[in-house]
Amino acid sequence: MPYVKIKIMEGRSIEKKQKMVEQVTNALVNSLDVKPDDVRIEILELREGTFAHAGKLASKKTE
Amino acid sequence: MPYVKIKIMEGRSIEKKQKMVEQVTNALVNSLDVKPDDVRIEILELREGTFAHAGKLASKKTE
Amino acid sequence: MPYVKIKIMEGRSIEKKQKMVEQVTNALVNSLDVKPDDVRIEILELREGTFAHAGKLASKKTE
Amino acid sequence: MPYVKIKIMEGRSIEKKQKMVEQVTNALVNSLDVKPDDVRIEILELREGTFAHAGKLASKKTE
Amino acid sequence: MPYVKIKIMEGRSIEKKQKMVEQVTNALVNSLDVKPDDVRIEILELREGTFAHAGKLASKKTE
Amino acid sequence: MPYVKIKIMEGRSIEKKQKMVEQVTNALVNSLDVKPDDVRIEILELREGTFAHAGKLASKKTE
């Protein structure tokens, strides 16, 4: 632990995702006094047509 | 909130999924006194070979 | 399938939760042409201090 | 119940996954005194670039 | 990986849960050729009134 | 989106958890170019006896 799951709409570059996991890992190391080796992050990318808000299926643009 | 995750076997049309999220959103609005804008729904479609029941991997037909 | 997980803030009565699962089950039966016996719903109630929005831990009132 | 979700890196054969669900179902039947028909298993295969450990996105090799 | 989440109704003894995680870990080690140290298992115990089947909230007895 | 779930062993103070959600929200805002209002974080605290590593149920100390 900690085990982190981050849900985002599909479409980000691998570089952006690498930057995200680095910054989120640092945020957890600083705030929870854990070691980087303790931190696991799973990225779940939701495809268009798989997420709805207020009864409407979201497309990438509206995300 | 509420945040809803609905797992179904892969294969439904986008129209069916849109109808589902509308009806589930209404069900939550009516039963929990929340606004449509409060409701988020994630649809997770399980591919064939990713779900087992009683020790057997389910295929679409048996779903 | 379908397997549904509904996350709500803690505090609703058992009657309200029973009404919710009935209406959500009906919504799925109508929209996905499945039988009530196919539908399983899990309710995850988030305690105060376990959900944050825009960097702030939500309390029940703001929910 | 029990409802089991198993996260593994992508790449195993269908035969290996079938062997896994059989053995995990037996493990649950033996340890929890439930029937095979009670056991549902979902397999979530994480694609390369969707899982990070210690701030680094894992690729299949390091899995 | 593998990361496993097992949902069961509340009420099993710690001994039964320890026996379960041992047997499920062995099942994964044998079927996926991974080491015990690779296997993490999370147990989510559902309280009465938090799981519904066919529109009815399940109580422990019916589990 | 993004919707984040952070699993940690039980026992951190509310101050530590508030510091964590602030820093993780900032990390996501900086790396994904999203607004704080877009970010929702759920904290799931695992009780002792609900998490196993290498076949052994973890207690708080070993976390």
Q: Please report, for chain F, the start and end positions of each structural domain, with discontinuous segments joined by +.
A: 3-62
pLDDT, one tens digit per residue, over D19-49 is 999 999 999 999 998 999 999 999 999 988 8
Instruction: Please tell me which of the candidates A22, A26, A40 has its beta carbon nearest to residue D53.
Output: A40
- Class level of CATH domain B3-62: alpha beta
Q: How would you list the strands of the sheet with F40-46, edge to edge?
A: C56-57, C51-53, F40-46, F3-9, A3-9, A40-46, D51-53, D56-57
Tell me whether residues B20 and C32 touch, CB distance under 8 A: yes
Q: Spell out the CATH class of C3-57.
A: alpha beta
CA–CA gap between residue C6 and residue F29 (Å, rounded): 27
The pLDDT value recorded for residue C1 is: 87
CB B1 within 8 A of CB C46: yes
Average of per-residue pLDDT values in chain D: 90
Q: What average pLDDT does range A42-52 have in this prediction? A: 91
| Spatial distance between the Cα atoms of D58 and D47, rounded to a whole number of angstroms | 10
| pLDDT tens over chain F, length 63 residues | 899 999 999 999 999 999 999 999 999 999 998 999 999 999 999 988 889 999 999 865 433
Q: What is the pLDDT of residues B5-57, one digit of tens each?
A: 999 999 999 999 999 999 999 999 999 989 999 999 999 999 888 899 999 99
**pLDDT tens digits, residue range C35-56?**
999 999 999 999 888 899 999 9
**Average of per-residue pLDDT across C16-39:** 95
pLDDT for F61 equals: 40
Tell me if residue E63 falls in helix, strand or coil. Answer: coil
Cβ-Cβ contacts under 8 Å, A46 against chain F: 1
Q: Is E58 on the interface with C (CB under 8 A)?
A: no
Write out chain F residues lying below 8 Å of A20, CB-based.
Answer: 27-28, 31-32
Distance from CA of A57 to the nearest CA of D (A): 23
The confidence score (pLDDT) of residue E62 equals: 39
Q: Which residues of chain E have pLDDT under 50?
A: 61-63
User: Touching check for C10 and chain E: CB below 8 Å?
Assistant: no
Cα dihedral across residues A13, D5, B1, B21: positive or negative? positive
Average pLDDT in the C6-33 region?
A: 95
Classify residue D34 by its DSSP letter.
-
Nearest to C30 among B2, B4, B23 (CB): B23
Cβ atoms of A3 and D46 within 8 Å: the answer is no
Model pLDDT, residue D34: 94
Is B2 considered catalytic here?
yes
Residues of F in contact with A30 (CB under 8 A): 23
Interface test with C, best of E5, E7, E51, E53 (most C CBs within 10 A): E53
> Does residue B59 carry a pLDDT above 90?
no
